[in-house]
Amino acid sequence: MPEDGGQLTTMPKAAGRSRAWRPSVTLVLAASMALLVLLSVVLVITIQASASQRNTFQLLREVTGLVVEYMDRSLRTHLDPAEAQAAFVARQIESGAFDLEDRDRLHDLLTGAVAGTPQIAALLTWDRELRRFGVWREPDGSTGILEGDQSDDPLIRAAAEDMEAREGPVWGELVFREGASRINLRQPLRRDGETVGFLVAAIAVQDLSALAASLSSVLDGTAFVLQGRDGVLAHPNLTSSHPEQSTETPLVRLDRVGDLVLAEIWNAEPVEGLNTEGLDASILRIELAEQEYAYVYREITGYGPEPWYIGAWFQLAADNVVDRLVRSIEWSLLLLVLAVASAFLLGRLIARPIRRVAEGTARIGHLDLAHVDTLGPSRLLELDNQAQAFNAMLASLRSFETYVPRRLVTRLIQAGGEDTVISEERELTILFTDIADFTRLSEQVPAAEVADFLNQHFALLGSCVEAEDGTVDKFIGDALMAFWGAPDPQPDTAVRACRAALAMAAAVKADNAKRRAEGKPPVKVRIGIHTGPVVVGNIGWPGRINYTIVGDTVNSSQRLEALGKDMGQGEDVTILVSGATAQRLDDSFALDFAGRFEVRGKSITLEVYRLRS
Same-domain pairing of 331 and 182: no
**Do 400 and 502 touch, CB atoms closer than 8 A?**
no
Same-domain pairing of 40 and 127: no
CA distances from 114 to 87, 121, 143, 448 (A): 13, 7, 8, 43
Q: How far apart are CA 223 and CA 234, in angstroms?
A: 8
Last-in-domain residue among 323, 345, 377: 323
CA distances from 34 to 7, 25, 336 (A): 21, 14, 14
Question: Binning pLDDT at 50, 70 and 90, where does residue 289 land?
Answer: confident
**Do 433 and 476 touch, CB atoms closer than 8 A?**
no
Question: Binning pLDDT at 50, 70 and 90, where does residue 333 land?
Answer: low
> What was the pLDDT predicted at 21?
67
599 φ/ψ angles, rounded to the nearest 5 degrees: -100, 135
> What was the pLDDT predicted at 492?
92
CA distances from 582 to 446, 480, 535, 598, 610 (A): 41, 21, 22, 18, 10
Give the model confidence (pLDDT) of 241-278 as tens digits.
888 888 888 888 999 999 999 999 999 988 776 766 77
User: Hey, what's the torsion of the CAs at 481, 484, 486, 492, to 10 degrees?
Assistant: -170
Same-domain pairing of 411 and 555: yes
DSSP code for 524: P
Same-domain pairing of 599 and 495: yes
Which three-class secondary structure state does DSSP give residue 542?
A: coil
Give the model confidence (pLDDT) of 101-160 as tens digits.
889 998 999 988 888 888 888 899 999 899 999 998 887 778 889 899 988 988 889 888
Residue 222 in any domain: the answer is: yes
Same-domain pairing of 261 and 337: no
Those residues with Cβ within 8 angstroms of residue 542's Cβ, 6 or more apart along the chain or in another chain: none
Give the model confidence (pLDDT) of 160-187 as tens digits.
888 888 888 888 888 877 777 888 889 8
Same-domain pairing of 315 and 371: no
Those residues with Cβ within 8 angstroms of residue 100's Cβ, 6 or more apart along the chain or in another chain: 93, 106, 125, 127, 133, 189, 196, 197
Residue 56 in any domain: the answer is: no
Lowest mean pLDDT among 8-17, 382-391, 506-515, 543-552: 8-17
421 φ/ψ angles, rounded to the nearest 5 degrees: -80, 110
> What was the pLDDT predicted at 351?
63
Residue 276 in any domain: the answer is: yes
Render 227-268 in DSSP notation, one character per residue: ETTTEEEE-GGGSS--TT--SS--SEEGGGSS-TTGGGGGG-
Stated pTM of the model? 0.44
Those residues with Cβ within 8 angstroms of residue 72's Cβ, 6 or more apart along the chain or in another chain: 298, 300, 310
The residue ranking higher by pLDDT, 465 or 16, is 465
For 507, other C-beta atoms within 10 Å of its C-beta total 18
Maximum average pLDDT range among 8-12, 126-130, 448-452: 126-130
Distance between start and end Cα atoms, the chain: 73
- Structural domain range at position 366: 25-51+325-402
Over 60: is that where the pLDDT of 49 sits?
Answer: no
Q: How far apart are CA 498 and CA 565, in angstroms?
A: 19
Give the model confidence (pLDDT) of 558-568 as tens digits.
888 888 887 76
Last-in-domain residue among 323, 346, 373: 323
Please compute the mean of the pLDDT values over residues 311-318 and round it to a whole number.
Answer: 77
Over 60: is that where the pLDDT of 52 sits?
Answer: no
Residue 95 in any domain: the answer is: yes
Maximum average pLDDT range among 13-27, 99-113, 414-428: 99-113
Give per-residue burial for 475-495: e unless 16+ CB within 10 Å, then b: eeebbbbbbbbbbeebebbbb
Specify the pairing of strand 525-541 against strand 544-550.
Answer: antiparallel
Over 60: is that where the pLDDT of 324 sits?
Answer: no
The residue ranking higher by pLDDT, 36 or 223, is 223
Same-domain pairing of 582 and 455: yes
Residue 58 in any domain: the answer is: no
Which three-class secondary structure state does DSSP give residue 599?
A: coil
What is the side-by-side strand order in the sheet with 194-204?
A: 143-149, 131-137, 120-127, 194-204, 180-191, 170-177
Same-domain pairing of 522 and 574: yes
For 563, other C-beta atoms within 10 Å of its C-beta total 20
Question: 566: closest CA among 517, 533, 526?
Answer: 526
Instruction: Find residue 195's DSSP bridge partners.
Output: 190
H or E segment to which residue 364 belongs: helix 321-365
Question: 538: closest CA among 415, 400, 367, 403?
Answer: 415
Question: Binning pLDDT at 50, 70 and 90, where does residue 415 land?
Answer: low
Count of structural domains within the chain: 4
Same-domain pairing of 188 and 308: no
Last-in-domain residue among 304, 323, 342: 323
Q: How many residues does the chain have?
A: 613
Q: How far apart are CA 535 and CA 108, in angstroms?
A: 10
The residue ranking higher by pLDDT, 299 or 346, is 299
Those residues with Cβ within 8 angstroms of residue 523's Cβ, 6 or more apart along the chain or in another chain: 435, 441, 457, 508, 511, 512, 515, 572
Specify the pairing of strand 231-234 against strand 291-300.
Answer: unpaired
Question: 471: closest CA among 501, 430, 441?
Answer: 430
Residue 67 in any domain: the answer is: no
Same-domain pairing of 307 and 317: yes
The residue ranking higher by pLDDT, 50 or 153, is 153
Q: How far apart are CA 451 and CA 373, in angstroms?
A: 33
> What was the pLDDT predicted at 405?
61
CA distances from 549 to 406, 426, 483, 534, 536 (A): 18, 10, 9, 6, 4
Residue 20 in any domain: the answer is: no
| Segments in 401-446 forming alpha helices (H) | 406-414, 438-442
- The CATH number of whichever domain residue 164 belongs to comes to 3.30.450.20
Q: How far apart are CA 484 and CA 500, in angstroms?
A: 11
341 φ/ψ angles, rounded to the nearest 5 degrees: -60, -50
Residue 139 in any domain: the answer is: yes
> What was the pLDDT predicted at 211?
83
Give the model confidence (pLDDT) of 453-501 as tens digits.
888 988 999 899 999 989 888 888 889 999 998 888 889 999 999 999 9
For 272, other C-beta atoms within 10 Å of its C-beta total 8
Same-domain pairing of 398 and 411: no
Same-domain pairing of 427 and 556: yes
Q: How far apart are CA 174 and CA 251, in angstroms?
A: 7
Give the model confidence (pLDDT) of 573-606 as tens digits.
999 999 999 999 998 898 989 888 877 666 678 8
3-state SS track over 275-320: CCCCCCCEEEEEEECCEEEEEEEEEECCCCCCCEEEEEEEEECCCC
Over 60: is that where the pLDDT of 300 sits?
Answer: yes
- The CATH number of whichever domain residue 239 belongs to comes to 3.30.450
DSSP code for 4: T
